[in-house]
Structure 1
Amino acid sequence: MNEKILIADEVSQLGIRRLESAGFQVDVKTGLSEDELCETIKEYNAIIIRSSTKITEKILSNAKNLKIIGRAGVGVDNINVEAATKYGIVVVNSPEGNIISAAEHTFGLIISLLRNIPQADRSVRNLEWKRNKFTGHELYRKTIGIIGLGKVGSNVAKYAKAFGMKVIGYDPYITLDRAREMGIVLMPLDEVFKEADIITVHVPKTKETYHLVNEERIQLMKKGSYIVNAARGGVVDENAVAKALRSGHLAGAASDVFENEPIVPDNPYISIENTVLTPHIGAATKEAQVNVILDVVDQIIAFFDGRIPHGAVNLPAFRGVSDDLLPWIDLAERLGKFVKDLVADRVNKIEIVYYGDIAKKNVNSISISVLKGYLIKVKGNYVSFVNALALANELGIRYTEIKESGDVDFKSMITVRVLTDSGIRSVSGTILSDQKPRIIEIDSYRVDAFPEGYLLVSRHRDKPGIIGRFGTILGKNNINIAGMQLGRNLSSGLAVMILSVDSEVNDDVLEELLSKGDIEELRSIYLS
């Protein structure tokens, strides 16, 4: 192979040797600035990074020969994935290489916290022998509340059960059957905070999870309980935790991640004794570092060998798919995202129903796109065509593909139907002659809307004044309405409205819109 690979962060030599053995030319150049990387990247076909190097759009615009970016780790926050996709560059990561390390580190933090190990160590080094000062607590029969039951969270649950702990958890995307298999009692989020002696979070940082652990939820916790964060900085409100530690409401907190990294001098944890802090080393084991680089290297080798890498985050083109299916793949992903934001309940099954001409095609790639769209809203941008089905299985979400031969009002149509704990919801879409995607039905309500940008979806009493109220309240908050679609059901006396707006609608505005009691459901949806 003649491809040139740039290693921009420190990685295991085993990965470098494997690339060289496969015939690649490998250069290691670490610590490059953005401007230096803009110049250097021009001659390379692939780049491998860890968390230090940031791949910006400016860098990508100069990467004329770049075909693939390998992130030796899980998070892709330091890569502009959208820009990479625009330039046709595949982004791969290694979502499973450091799972064990992250779970073990979480448990190390928990034990250190409850047994005061770091504080006792410092005391002994000062030639003190204050045994009574460091009396701690057993884990046995304590209740651990795990927020996020993916691979790391489920491993933490396994370790907790080995210590004789009661395991409760919250994850709105995992099915009850899957939780039972793992021996975890699922509860609503606030109930987990009320019941747990220890809260540990294992979720990605998204708009929905930012400050998930906040002052209100901390106040729900028992006096003398603990909080651990080895997931992502920003998921926990550090100031709220510090306040609860100083007041004595919380007995301790441990964190491997911080809102600002490296940690800043005014971080509220630094001056508080009953904290355990580590510098984002959850994945920093020799085994994990070897695992992630070898995984990424194997994916790069596979890519240049013409195979699809299993950890592809974006996959700019779904290989082997005919051009006439590409608009349907795009529509399917948008429908998956839409139905995720539309439905508040736990989803147990996704049915993808095809009508008309599209039902005569090989629709596997379209079905996977629905799952991909749904799961991106759950798991983040590392979901791809390659791993979407496996991730759905991991969550216990079943999916079926149905082809109907009956007549419909459109030449072709897709319906995404989700079975939740409380019932069935559906959204349908099509591609019209302009090759643009449309949402044409929500549940039994006919509409005609473009699935893009910021949308407000309302189900409300079909009576005068409601549309005017939306206009008044949104206008008062400087939110412009770009378009409106209304579907009515005369027998039920209800209507569904889709408003396309130019900016995000925050929670305060949503609450004001809901204040009259005549809106049964209101969802804010964003489709990129």
Structure 2
Amino acid sequence: MAYNIAVVNSSSFGQVFTEHWQELEKIGTVKRFMLPTDIDGKSLAEKLHGFNIIIASVTPFFNKDFFDNKDETLLISRHGIGFNNVDIEEAKKHSTQVAIVPQKVERNSVAENELANLMALVRRVVPSSERERAGRYQDRAQFMGNQFSGKAFGVIGCGNIGSRVAELFSVFGGPVLVNDPHPAVEPEWFTNNNVERVDLDTLLSRCDYISLNASLDDSSLHMINADALKHLKKGAYICNNARGALVVEDAISDAIESGQLSGYASDAMEVEPVKANHPFLKNDRIQLTPHTSAYTYECLHGMGEKCVDDVKKIVAGKRPVRELTHTLDD
């Protein structure tokens, strides 16, 4: 069988670690596609016609229309830990294996970036640095921030990454609260890390700094909306390194304007890339980064290694590790 491999919407796979691309070229033809993030399923299938292995980024969406119109696809290997842009049931119906990167690969990189982005937001690092670059040293008194020591911290979503964020927050000596209906940690983890499990309203009302780490599904879509923000402790900060659609963007802007929310940092937006006229880009209390939480050398190397291993296993007639679907014969 001839293997044609499409790398879709990943600007990093095979770029820093070129050996990963070279490994795939030993297996078959490899081509990079940079497609509109909102491309429809049928058009996506047409673009990828003839490619039976796909290495996929966080976009576009491999939905029912994609699978109904696509020729044989053996594997979709996510260059990341999430799989919300792949219709798993449809993949199963079409005998397509779906694999993701093990969460431990991204755990430290994403959690550390959550803390870095939050601290940069609170201490106003970006705007003050820009003012210094412009020769405006005399403006420094405009960039007052807040300290972290002794404050209350909240983590919404206590999975692999959220639990690590909570552990990092604990070094500041204040209370750490977690909200998650199904935390992916053992019960003793809460005791060992002095973490309190609470409902969402309690977390919002008590915490000075809040990290969004929930996975995106029907129950979490737009969970931080206008009603939720009414419960927010006045002057709190929120950082989102998970999924942009966890928040209602207009509600975030309104909360900042009213002073209920002091600032918002996000590495993920509901629609990416962000358009130049997006109101968030015009608000100096909002800090955006282009989905770079996993962009450390250690993390990207591990992600690339996993995708290459997925492809090699498929070629060898084996299942990828952490594959999410099974063939119809199973």
Q: Which one of the candidate residues 135, 147, 152 is aligned to 1:143?
A: 152
Please tell me the residue identity of whatever aligns with 1:275. I
Q: 1:251 deviation in Å?
A: 1.7
Shift of residue 59, structure 1, vs aligned partner = 4.3
Separation in 1 of the partners of 2:32 and 2:227? 47
Q: Does 1:112 align with 2:120?
A: yes
Amino acid at match of 2:152: T
Query: What's the counterpart of residue 236 of structure 1?
Result: 247
2:77 corresponds, among 70, 84, 87, to: 70
The residue identity in structure 2 corresponding to 1:24 is I
Distance 1:7 1:252 in 2: 36
CA contact (8 A) 1:31 1:53 kept: no
Residue aligning to 1:374: none
Per-residue deviation, 1:36: 7.6
**1:81, 1:314 within 8 Å by CA — same for their partners in 2?**
yes
Counterpart of 2:84, as a letter, is: D
1:120-135 pair list within 5 angstroms: 120-129=128-137, 130-135=139-144
Q: Among all aligned residue pairs of Structure 1 and Structure 2, give the percentage whose two residues are the same amino acid.
A: 27
Deviation (angstroms), 1:111: 0.6
Please name the residue that 1:85 is paired with: 92
Following superposition of structure 1 onto structure 2, how do residues 386-401 of structure 1 map, counting pairs within 5 Å? Answer: none
User: Match of 1:254, SS?
Assistant: strand
Q: Is residue 239–residue 268 contact of structure 1 (8 Å, CA) maintained in 2?
A: no
Contact 1:4 / 1:46 at 8 angstroms: preserved in 2? Answer: yes
Cα distance between partner residues in 1 of 2:228 and 2:43: 45
The reply on whether 1:215 has 2:220 as its aligned counterpart is no
Answer yes or no: is the 8 Å Cα contact 2:264–2:286 preserved in 1.
yes
The farther-off stretch of 273-282 and 200-209 is 273-282
Corresponding residue of 1:188: 199
Give the 3 Å change call, closer, same or farther, for CA 3–259 of structure 1 in structure 2.
closer
Change (3 A) 1:116 1:84: same
**Per-residue CA distance 1:309-353 (angstroms, 9 max, x = gap):** 22212223475xxxxxxxxxxxxxxxxxxxxxxxxxxxxxxxxxx
Corresponding letter in the other structure for 2:164: N
* Conserved? CA contact 2:6–2:51, under 8 Å: yes
SS at match of 1:280: coil
**Mapped contact 1:45–1:66 kept (Cα < 8 A):** yes
Determine the C-alpha separation between the residues in 2 that align with 1:68 and 1:6: 10
Structure with the bigger RCO (C-alpha within 8 Å, sep 6+) is 2
Query: Is the CA contact (8 Å cut-off) linking 1:42 and 1:62 kept in structure 2?
Result: no
Aligned match of 1:5: 5
Q: Provide the residue aligned with 1:29 in structure 2.
A: 32
Superposed CA RMSD in Å reads 2.5
CA distance in 2, matches of 1:192, 1:104: 21
CA drift at 1:166: 2.5
Which secondary structure state, in structure 2, belongs to the residue aligned with residue 253 of structure 1?
Answer: strand
Q: Tell me which protein shows more strand as a share of its residues.
A: 1
In 2: Cα distance, 1:276 partner to 1:65 partner: 42
Match of 1:101 among 97, 106, 109: 109
Q: Which runs of 5+ in 2 are unaligned?
A: none
Whether the 8 Å contact between 1:16 and 1:26 is mirrored in structure 2 is no
Deviation at 1:197, TM superposition (A): 0.6
Q: How many angstroms apart in 1 are the aligned matches of 2:102 and 2:314?
A: 17
1:348-399 CA deviation, whole Å, 9 max, x = no partner?
xxxxxxxxxxxxxxxxxxxxxxxxxxxxxxxxxxxxxxxxxxxxxxxxxxxx
With normalisation by structure 2, the TM-score equals 0.86
Partners of 2:308 and 2:81 lie apart in 1 by: 14
Query: 1:28–1:136: structure 2 CA closer, same or farther, 3 Å change rule?
Result: same
Residues 408-442 of structure 1 deviation map (CA, whole Å, 9 limit, x = unaligned):
xxxxxxxxxxxxxxxxxxxxxxxxxxxxxxxxxxx
Alpha carbons of structure 1 residues 197 and 88: separation in structure 2 relative to 1, 3 Å: same
> CA 1:98–1:220 in 2, change beyond 3 Å: closer, same or farther?
same
In structure 1, stretches of 5+ residues that fail to align are 320-528
For normalisation by structure 1, the TM-score amounts to 0.55
Which stretch of the first structure deviates more once superposed, 108-117 or 38-47?
A: 38-47
How many positions carry a matched residue from both structures? 317
- Which structure: larger Rg? 1
Secondary structure of the structure 2 residue equivalent to 1:221? coil
Q: Which amino acid aligns with 1:195?
A: R
2:21 to 11, 16, 23: 16
For 1:258 and 1:42, locate their aligned partners in 2 and report how far apart those are by CA, in whole Å: 29
Secondary structure in structure 1 of the residue aligned to 2:282: coil
Cα distance between partner residues in 1 of 2:3 and 2:146:
56
1:385-424 counterparts in 2 under 5 A?
none
Would you say the 8 A contact 2:74–2:314 is kept in 1?
A: no
Change (3 A) 1:117 1:67: same
- Secondary structure of 1:241's aligned partner: helix
What per-residue deviation string (whole Å, max 9, x for no partner) do you get for residues 493-512 of structure 1? xxxxxxxxxxxxxxxxxxxx
